[in-house]
Amino acid sequence: MDAVSVWRIADWDLDVGTSDSGSIYKHQCMSCGQTSGAAVTADGPDVWCLRHAKRTGHTEFRGTVTTFFRASLAEGPR
């Protein structure tokens, strides 16, 4: 029996937020490195920055948003 190779060329889609989890927000103080902790909205980390600034005088922060993606085979011809 001869070996047969089959090549399939397909298009793929990349979708945002198809996992069970939405985006995750987390802020970090640029002066001391303390972090807000992770949250499902930016509100909590934003308030943490304001409280941290009031308490420490540190005024610069970095925000990180983690977003989940899922790749899947595209349906139908393109």
Q: Does 53 bind Zn ion (CB under 5 A)?
A: no
Q: Does 49 bind Zn ion (CB under 5 A)?
A: no
Report in angstroms how near the CB of residue 13 gets to Zn ion at its nearest.
41
Q: Whose CB is nearest to Zn ion?
A: 29
Residues 22-41 binding Zn ion (CB under 5 A) are 29, 31-32
Q: Does 58 bind Zn ion (CB under 5 A)?
A: yes
How is residue 8 written in tokens? 């399939």
Rounded to whole angstroms, what are the CA distances from 73 to 6, 15, 24, 61, 67?
Answer: 17, 11, 26, 39, 20
CB atoms within 10 A of CB 31: 14
